[in-house]
C-alpha cells in the first residue's frame, strides 16, 4: 500500500537533514507542539528531505519511533500525533545533485510560503541554496534558516554568507541560535529596559563584574567527529555566549524592530577589546576533560571517546576574560565560561554589583555583594541576592534571595525555544536571529584568539569529568579578587 504525501497548502516547511538528530529531537517535536496549539495553518506541510532511500511510510515509522521521547509527556496523545504525522512528506534525494531537486519541485507545485530549514553540515548550505534557485523554488516569499556553526573561521563564514546572498536577500535569511529563543533570554530585554530600578545601575561603576556560564554535563557523544574539528570556542563561545553577552551589554534600542535591536548588539561586538598574544596567554583558559564521574557514573575522557584522535588538542572547555571598550562598561570584566562534562548542566548569567563604598556594620560583618542571578537552564528563574539582618540580638548579616520563578509567574504555556523561533520565521520576525554583519563581527573577535592559541602552542589543561573545569579558570577570577558563582 502506498502512502501519498499530503497535498500542497499555504505553507511548506522544508527540512534538509530531515532524518538527522536535530530534526527528530528538536525540530519535529517543536512543530508538533505548534500543531497541537493550532499555530500552524490546517494546510501547512512539513517536507523532510533526506539521503536515506525511504518511502514516506518508512520515514514516518522512523519518526514515530524516535521523536515522541522528546515531546512533553502531558502534551502527547496518539490522536494528536497521528494528525501531526499526516502533515509530513518525505523526499529522498542527494542535495549535491541538482537534478534531484526536480523531486522537490514536483511536490511544491503550487505557490506557497516556503521555509527552507538547513539542518545539514554548513558545507552543504551553498549547494542547497543554488540548487533550490536553479529549480525555481526560491521567490520573494521564501525564507532560509541556517543552523550553526556558520563557518569555521571568518573567511568561511563570509564565503557562506556571500554564496547564500546570491539567492536570498538578507531579509529572507534566518541565522538561528536557539539560545535567543529561550524565554529567559528574551525576558532579559524586559528586565533591563522595562524596569526603572535596573537601568540606572546597569553600568560601571555600579556593576563590578559579569559572569556568563553555559555548562554541560554531557560529553561529545556522537558529535565527536564534528566537535574535534570545532572545539568549545567555535561551537559555543562564538555564538551562544557572545549573543548572551550582547543582550546583557547592549544599549537601549530605539525600538524592538529587528534592525534596531541588532544594530545595538553589533555595537557591543565591535566594542570588544581585541586580544594580542599577551592578552590571550593571560586572559584565556582552555581545557580538555579526562576520565571521571558524571551524574554518579564513571565516564571516559575526551581522548578515549570514539572518533577522537589520541593526539587531539581540541578544547572541550573555555574560560576567558573579555573587556568592552565603551563608557557604560569601562573597566567592568566579563567572564565567559563553557565546557562539556562539567559538574552539572547549568546556564547562568551573574551580575555582581559593586561593593558598598563604606560599611556602617564594621569590618567584621559578613557582607557579600548584591548579585542578580539569571538562570537559563535547567530551570528558568531570576533571583536578586541581598543582605538582611539575622534574627536575634546584634546586627549580624546574611544573604537572602528574592526569587522570580518564571515558570510559575504565568499560567500561559511556555513554548520551547525552537518552537518560538520557528514561529518567528513563519511570521517574518527577524529580531532573534543574527544578521550577517553581526555574525562576522563575532568571528573578527574570536578568530585571533583561536589563531593565538595555535601560535602559542597552547595545550588544553586537563580537568576531571564532573568538575567545574581546570584550576586555572578559578585563578583567572582570583587574581581580581573574584570567584565563579558556585565557588563564592
List active site positions. Answer: 240
Q: Which three cell numbers stand for residue 314?
A: 581540541
Backbone angles phi, psi at 91, to 5 degrees: -125, 120
**Nearest alpha-carbon partner for 241 in 275, 216, 276:** 216
Helices (H), 145-204: 154-165, 183-193
Backbone angles phi, psi at 108, to 5 degrees: -100, 65
Q: 41-78: b or e for each residue (b if 16 or more CB lie within 10 Å)?
A: eeebbbbbbbbeebebeebbebbeeebbeebeeeebee
Helix 242-249 and helix 436-455, axial crossing angle in degrees, nearest 10: 120
Rounded Cα distance between 75 and 77, Å, is 7
Classify strands 297-299 and 88-92 as parallel, antiparallel or unpaired: unpaired
Cα 61 versus chain centre, distance: 30
9, 210 contact by CB (below 8 A): no
Amino acid at each position: 500500500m502506498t502512502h501519498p504525501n499530503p497535498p500542497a497548502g499555504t505553507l511548506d516547511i522544508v527540512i534538509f537533514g530531515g532524518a538527522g538528530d536535530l530534526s527528530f529531537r528538536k525540530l519535529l517535536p517543536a512543530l508538533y507542539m505548534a500543531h497541537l496549539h493550532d499555530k500552524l495553518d490546517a494546510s501547512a506541510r512539513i517536507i523532510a528531505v533526506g539521503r536515506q532511500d525511504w518511502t514516506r511510510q518508512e520515514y514516518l515509522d522512523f519518526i514515530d519511533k524516535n521523536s515522541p521521547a522528546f515531546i512533553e509527556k502531558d502534551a502527547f496523545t496518539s490522536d494528536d500525533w497521528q494528525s501531526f504525522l499526516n502533515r509530513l512528506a518525505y523526499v529522498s534525494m542527494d542535495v549535491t545533485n541538482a537534478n534531484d531537486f526536480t523531486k522537490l519541485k514536483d511536490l511544491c507545485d503550487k505557490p506557497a510560503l516556503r521555509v527552507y530549514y538547513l539542518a545539514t553540515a554548513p558545507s552543504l548550505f551553498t549547494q542547497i541554496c543554488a540548487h533550490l534557485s536553479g529549480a525555481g523554488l526560491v521567490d520573494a516569499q521564501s525564507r532560509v534558516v541556517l543552523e550553526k556553526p556558520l563557518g569555521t573561521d571568518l573567511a568561511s563564514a563570509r564565503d557562506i554568507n556571500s554564496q547564500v546572498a546570491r539567492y536570498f536577500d538578507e531579509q529572507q535569511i534566518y541565522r538561528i541560535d536557539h539560545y535567543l529563543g529561550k524565554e529567559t533570554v528574551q525576558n532579559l530585554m524586559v528586565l533591563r529596559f522595562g524596569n526603572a530600578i535596573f537601568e540606572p545601575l546597569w553600568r560601571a561603576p555600579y556593576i563590578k563584574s559579569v559572569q556568563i556560564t553555559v555548562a554541560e554535563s554531557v560529553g561529545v557523544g556522537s558529535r565527536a567527529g564534528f566537535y574535534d574539528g570545532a572545539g568549545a570556542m567555535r561551537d559555543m563561545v562564538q555564538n551562544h555566549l557572545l549573543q548572551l553577552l550582547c543582550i546583557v551589554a547592549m544599549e537601549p534600542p530605539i525600538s524592538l524592530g529587528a534592525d534596531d535591536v541588532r544594530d545595538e548588539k553589533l555595537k557591543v561586538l565591535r566594542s570588544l577589546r581585541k586580544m594580542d598574544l599577551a592578552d590571550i596567554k593571560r586572559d584565556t583558559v582552555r581545557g580538555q576533560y579526562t576520565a571521571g564521574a558524571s551524574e554518579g557514573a564513571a565516564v571516559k575522557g575526551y581522548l578515549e571517546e570514539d572518533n577522537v584522535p589520541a593526539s587531539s588538542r581540541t578544547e572541550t572547555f573555555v574560560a576567558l576574560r573579555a573587556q568592552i571598550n565603551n563608557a557604560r562598561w569601562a573597566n567592568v570584566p566579563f567572564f565567559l565560561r563553557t565546557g562539556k562534562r562539567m559538574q552539572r548542566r547549568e546556564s547562568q548569567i551573574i551580575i555582581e554589583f559593586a561593593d558598598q563604598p563604606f560599611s556602617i556594620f564594621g569590618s567584621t560583618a559578613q557582607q557579600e555583594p548584591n548579585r542578580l542571578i539569571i538562570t537559563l537552564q535547567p530551570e528558568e528563574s531570576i533571583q536578586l541576592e541581598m543582605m538582611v539582618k539575622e534574627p536575634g540580638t546584634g546586627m549580624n548579616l546574611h544573604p537572602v534571595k528574592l526569587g522570580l520563578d518564571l515558570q510559575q509567574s504565568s499560567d500561559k504555556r511556555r513554548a520551547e525555544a525552537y518552537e518560538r523561533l520557528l514561529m518567528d520565521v513563519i511570521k517574518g520576525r527577524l529580531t532573534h536571529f543574527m544578521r550577517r554583519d553581526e555574525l562576522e563581527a563575532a568571528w573578527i573577535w574570536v578568530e585571533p584568539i583561536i589563531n593565538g592559541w595555535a601560535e602559542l602552542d597552547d595545550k588544553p589543561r586537563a580537568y576531571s569529568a564532573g568538575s567545574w573545569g581546570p584550576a586555572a579558570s578559578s585563578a583567572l577570577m582570583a587574581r581580581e579578587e573574584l570567584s565563579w558563582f558556585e565557588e563564592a
